Amino acid sequence: MPTTPEYGVDLITFYDPSFWGVNSYDEIMEIRHKNPVQIWTTIFDALSEAGITAIEMTFPPADVSSALDAFGSAEGFKTELQRRGLKLKSSFHMGSGWGPGGDRNAEVAKAVEHATFLAEAGGDTLVVGPPMRKSRDANPPLFIDHAFASAVADTAHAVGNATLRLGVKTALHTEAHSMFCTRRDIDLLLGLTDPEYVFFCPDTAHITLAGGNPIDAVVAHSERVVIAHWKDAVGPMPAGLPIEGEKIHELHQGYMCTLGEGVVDWDRWITLYDKTQGSDVRLLELDAVADPIKEMKAAKAFVENASAQNAASGSSPGQASQAHEKRS
């Protein structure tokens, strides 16, 4: 592990309307269309104040299209990041069409376009959200079986091969209520994909929401972790919730919380993560918080403190777990 890992955030951190002085996401998008430079300047200023140096781009308004509108090119975006002492690490990409019946060539083309921007702007990881499940009472039902996972794996291979040629790794993200969120799901899809081409982006909160333990779910695949979303949760969500539509993502946020206030065992997580390929960047993900500067500072301080305690005690994962229980 580097002596001093960098800290980053996913830019969804800034999507609470109150941070922008408006009342809705649609009004944030109005700002984006009228003045995309304002979106990025506001975010960059907040990152600098919080001591965060790396970013993961995501869906609008802090996405590739708005960066191009604001800075003209990937190189222009990179230049502005460097001027401010920031860097692009990764970007979130929707893989909703990766299942059976999807247009693989089209999916590869979209991923290549996204990864091309990433590479030119200095990033190295395309984080992919896999297809979502359907509600349990859906008719017809959607079974996440070997055939479904194999279709996703085939597309992941095609995309992973194409992005690697650009210097960008494709990493699968564990979105709750997707086909890649439980320990069984993770074992299935990673078991079907070649580790030379397809990598892993675990999300500690989303694995928790799906009823799992992030450490238990990740440890068998830790050699494939190139990035992770560091996020806390109060516990698993109830089974049988309706999944279709955007409401399920809103429900997710109700179960997420400030780092250290949930059930994620951060001592064991730090010990595990610091041995992975992604140990150079700790990506904090704070979904749409009202005061992102305060929350970023608090999250960074919490992780730094936990890391210092681990280092001081020379704790193993088991010993770190005991320390976590004492602090809790």
pLDDT at 324 (0 to 100): 41
Q: Which two tokens stand for residue 116?
A: 């091309």
140: preceding bond cis by omega (within 30 degrees): yes
R_g of the chain computed on alpha carbons? 19
The kind and range of the H/E element at 303 are helix 292-313
User: Across all residues in the chain, what is the average pLDDT?
Assistant: 93
Cα-Cα-Cα-Cα dihedral sign, residues 41, 47, 52, 57: negative
Span 107-136, mean pLDDT?
97
Residue 105: is its pLDDT beyond 70?
A: yes
Burial (Cβ within 10 Å: 0-12, 13-18, ≥19) of residue 222 = middle
Residue 91, C-beta contacts closer than 8 angstroms, at least 6 positions apart:
56, 57, 58, 64, 114, 117, 118, 123, 125, 126, 127
Beta bridge partners of 225: 200
pLDDT of residue 253: 87
C-alpha closest to that of 226 among 205, 256, 264, 195: 195
What does the DSSP assignment read for 75-137? HHHHHHHHHTT-EEEEEEEE-TT-STT--HHHHHHHHHHHHHHHHHHT--EEEEEPPB---TT
Q: What is the pLDDT of residues 37-77, one digit of tens each?
A: 999 999 999 999 999 999 999 999 999 999 999 999 999 99
Task: Please determine, for residue 323, whether its predicted confidence score (pLDDT) is greater than 90.
Answer: no
Predicted pLDDT of residue 325: 43
Does residue 120 or residue 285 have the better pLDDT? 120
Whether residue 327 has pLDDT greater than 70: no
To the nearest whole percent, how much of the chain has pLDDT over 90?
87
Tokens 């990673």 sit at which residue? 190
pTM, rounded to two decimals: 0.93
Give the tokens for residue 180: 């890649």
- Rounded to an integer, what distance in angstroms lies between the CA atom of residue 18 and that of residue 288? 10
Query: Which pLDDT does position 3 carry in this prediction?
Result: 63
Inform me whether the pLDDT recorded for 317 exceeds 80.
no
6-327: CATH number = 3.20.20.150
Task: Give me the residue label for tokens 């893989």.
Answer: 95
Task: Please check whether residue 277 is in contact with residue 2, taking contact to mean a CB–CB distance below 8 angstroms.
Answer: no
